[in-house]
Structure 1
Amino acid sequence: MNEESEVDDANIIWIGGPAAAGKTTVSRLFAQKYGFVYYSVDSHAFAHEKRAAAAGIHVLGTGPGNFDRRPMILEDVRALAAETMVVVEGAFVTPAMAGVGENAVWLMPSEQEQLARLEQRNPGGDHEGRIWGWELVRSQLEGTAARVIQVDGQSVEETIRAVEQEFGTILASHR
């Protein structure tokens, strides 16, 4: 087993989903509750973009880019905590990038719920661009055995409990 897969398999809990699914709030509270390290892929987006540009796989200033962030995330996680679980979340965490194994869960609102949450966040805003992320994640989840939590109508507390249930085996092994 190489170092990258050890970090991936043993130390990371991936929480993905489209914009307004509750990933950031749930991930922060979940990590805090269990003493895990919290890592937001979205907050590292510009740093990843700069690293990708320096590596010649992205043109700086052209947006977030469509390059593979996984190696950068794993490198960041290795630098954070070698023996501590890290909860990695963000809109850039897709099933194709993170996988759909036992250490990944997807928070999925319906398209209508996502639009309602986006409108609540930014009344009157243009939310259609955010729906692209919903369609991308949904399409990558189709036909897989991924762990998906439908978040429509759920409170933050209910979603955290659902995440705890999905990661019960992992939580039991890290107490």
Structure 2
Amino acid sequence: MTRESEVDDPDIIWIGGPAAAGKTTVSQLFAQKHGYFYYSVDAHAFDHEKRAAAAGIHVLGSGPGDFDRRPMIIEDIRSSAAGATAVVEGAFVTPAMAGVGENALWLMPSKEEQLARLEHRNPGGNHEGRVWGWGLVRSQLEGTGARVIVVDGQTVDQTVMAVEKLLEK
């Protein structure tokens, strides 16, 4: 089940999608262009694991875990962004965690595009675990009014412009 926008969230723009969708590059450029605070959930993954373990909701060293990172993300942003709009992105940003409101969007390649991008990043690598994330995100988006940008064949600049267009108020 996906969340609705939560009233207590600071001003956050959530950008999610599977591996190799362009989340990090697009989010960094978008945040820089508009003077927003950039937050990578992936870069904070180990810290989140340690905090979850300290709270007794995760066993440290047992993998990334399926605990709710959202409260930690919001706490981090409140302590670091000083009221600025934050762009939050990462593989852990799923529709179930971030919601599908007007402040969330999803960069989605086709499976073929994702595999091509993953192969470009790591020729001959095992990409099954990353492709699994495509199905997870896709299944959580089904039946919602989520904002999705299909990134197949787009340049980074085109994707940044598509993000800007979707987020126009």
| TM norm. shorter chain > 0.5 | yes
1:19: Cα distance to partner? 0.3
CA distance in 2, matches of 1:58, 1:84: 30
TM-score, structure 1 as length reference: 0.92
1:83: Cα distance to partner? 2.0
Q: Which residue of 1 aligns with 2:122?
A: 122
State the AA in 2 paired with 1:21. A
| Number of residue-to-residue matches in the alignment | 164
SS of 2:116's equivalent in the other structure is: helix
Which structure has the highest helix share of the two? 1
Between the aligned residues of both structures, percent identity stands at: 76
Q: Which residue of 1 aligns with 2:59?
A: 59
Q: Which residue of 1 aligns with 2:83?
A: 83
SS of 1:96's equivalent in the other structure is: helix
Q: Which residue of 2 aligns with 1:172?
A: none
Q: Which runs of 4+ in 1 moved over 2 A?
A: none
Q: Which residue of 2 aligns with 1:144?
A: 144
State the AA in 2 paired with 1:162. A
CA distance in 2, matches of 1:142, 1:12: 23
TM-score, structure 2 as length reference: 0.95
Q: Which residue of 2 aligns with 1:5?
A: 7
1:82: Cα distance to partner? 3.2
Matching of residue 163 in structure 1 with residue 160 in structure 2: no
Q: Which residue of 1 aligns with 2:48?
A: 48
State the AA in 2 paired with 1:31. A
CA distance in 2, matches of 1:44, 1:121: 22
SS of 2:47's equivalent in the other structure is: helix
CA distance in 2, matches of 1:62, 1:45: 13
CA distance in 2, matches of 1:93, 1:165: 21
State the AA in 1 paired with 2:63. G
State the AA in 2 paired with 1:27. S
CA distance in 2, matches of 1:128, 1:36: 34
Gaps of 5+ in 1: 170-175
Match runs of 1:91-130 below 5 Å: 91-130=91-130
